[in-house]
Structure 1
Amino acid sequence: MRKELLVEWEVFGRRQVYGSPWVEVWLDDVEIPGVGRIDHHVVRYPRASTTAVVTNEAGEFLLLYRHRFITGRWGWEVPAGWAEPGEEPAAAIVREVEEETGWRPGRVELLTEYDAMAGISDAHFRAYHVTDCTRIGEPEDVSEATSVEWIPEGEVVKLLTSGGVPDGPSHAALSYYLGPHRLARRS
C-alpha cells in the first residue's frame, strides 16, 4: 500500500507589487515542503472571467477572428470578457456576446469552470454554452474583431487541431464543449 504524502504550501504573508482594475501582481511569502521559504510571484485578477461557446441549430459556432498584439498572432476566438463589479458572470457573458458579435443570447448554460494558470495565478474562468441567439445588428465594440462568423463544426475542429484557435480560454471552452460536455450528455 502506498503512503500518501500531502504537500501543501504554507502562506505567511503577501504584499502587492502592482495593481490596477484589470490585474494585480503580488509577492507571497510561502514555505514549500522540502524546499523552504521563498517569495512566489502571484498574478491576481480582480474580476471574473467568462467565455461562451455560441452555437446555432445548424451546428455552427459563432467565432471572432482577431489579432492579439501581445503574442503577435491572429486567430479565432469565442466571445469573452470580464464581469463588472457586482455583475453576475452569466449576465456578463450575455453582455459580452451582444457587444462583440451583434447577436443577443437566448439561453445561457454553464459548461465548466477552471483555473487557467493555478501555479502562478488566480485566473478563474467560467465557460458558458449560449444558444437561441437573435441578430440585433452590428457588433457594438468594433475593436474586438476583424470579423464575426458562424463556422461549421468540422471547420472548428480543423481550427482547433491546426493552431487556428491559439487563445487558451477559447481552446479550452471549445474543446470542453466538443469533448466531455457531449460525452456526459450521452450517458
Structure 2
Amino acid sequence: MSKIHDIKPRWAEGLPETPPWRSLGDSVLVDTPWMRVTRHPAVAPTGADADYVVVRPKNVGTGVLPLHDDGTVTLVGQHRFALMRYSWEMPEGGAPEGEDPFEAVKRELAEEAGLTAAHWRAALDVDLSNSITDERAMTWVAWGLSATETAPDETEVFLSARVPFGELMAEIARGAVRDGLTVATAYRAYHMAREGELPAALARSMLGA
C-alpha cells in the first residue's frame, strides 16, 4: 500500500499552519475485525483540554466507477445497515492491511458488478470524515469492460443497473445518489472526461458530445 504523503496545496505553500492537536495517550474502547475505536486525553490547538474519540477502520476503502463504451455506468444497489436505507453506489469494498488496494478493488468489481476491466485509472485518494476517523479511501475509473461471474459474500444482496453517465450526475444533483465515494468519483470522472484524461471516444459518450 502506498504511503500517504503530506502534500500541501500549491496555494498554501509558504503559509503558516495553525497549532496542532496533541494526544496525551490512548485507550481502546472497541476492537473488532473491521475497526478499532480509541479514546484520547488531548490538548486542542487553543491549549484547552479535550477528550477525543477516533474511529480507526482496519481496511482502506476502495471503489471503482465502471465506464462502458456507450457512456453508461454500472451501479449496484444494496441496503446499508448504518443508515437503514437503500443506496445506489459504484462497486465498493475494502483492502485489509497488507493487501494492495488495487487488487482489492478489482476483486470487488467482479464480485459486485460481475465485470472485469482492461483499463484502469486512479481517480481519488482521500480522507473520509477526518474529524472523527482516520479512514482512507482510494477509487478508480475503469473501462474496456467484460462480463464475469458475481460472487457476493454471505451478507450481501445486490441489484445492478446500467445507467447513462449524465443520468447518474443528475441523480447525484437531485440527492438520490448519496454515497460519498460514488459522488466524489463521479465528479472526478466528469473532470477527467472534460480535461482529456480519458480516451476521447469514451469521454464523448459520457458527456453526450
CA displacement at 1:33 relative to structure 2: 2.5
Deviation readout 1:99-137 (Å, 9 max, x if unpaired): 011111222221111101111101111011111121013
Distance 1:16 1:43 in 2: 10
Alpha-carbon contact 1:77-1:170 (below 8 Å) kept: yes
Matches within 5 A, 1:88-167: 88-137=100-149, 139-141=150-152, 143-167=155-179
Alpha-carbon contact 2:112-2:158 (below 8 Å) kept: no
Matches within 5 A, 1:1-187: 4=16, 6-137=18-149, 139-141=150-152, 143-179=155-191, 181-185=192-196
Report % sequence identity: 24
Deviation readout 1:33-74 (Å, 9 max, x if unpaired): 225121201000111110111101111111012222321222
Alpha-carbon contact 1:29-1:38 (below 8 Å) kept: yes
TM-score by length of 2: 0.79
Distance 2:55 2:183 in 1: 21
Distance 1:147 1:172 in 2: 22
State the AA in 2 paired with 1:165: V
152 and 144 in structure 1: CA distance in 2 versus 1, 3 angstrom threshold: farther
- SS at 1:90's partner residue? helix
TM-score by length of 1: 0.88
CA displacement at 1:184 relative to structure 2: 4.2
Distance 1:35 1:182 in 2: 46
Q: Unpaired segments of 5 or more residues in structure 2?
A: 1-14, 198-209
145 and 169 in structure 1: CA distance in 2 versus 1, 3 angstrom threshold: farther
- SS at 2:105's partner residue? helix
- SS at 1:83's partner residue? strand
CA displacement at 1:185 relative to structure 2: 3.3
Distance 1:106 1:34 in 2: 51
122 and 136 in structure 1: CA distance in 2 versus 1, 3 angstrom threshold: same
- SS at 1:13's partner residue? coil
Alpha-carbon contact 2:77-2:89 (below 8 Å) kept: yes
State the AA in 2 paired with 1:176: R
State the AA in 2 paired with 1:19: D
Aligned residues: 182
RMSD: 1.9
State the AA in 1 paired with 2:26: R
61 and 119 in structure 1: CA distance in 2 versus 1, 3 angstrom threshold: same
Distance 2:162 2:78 in 1: 15
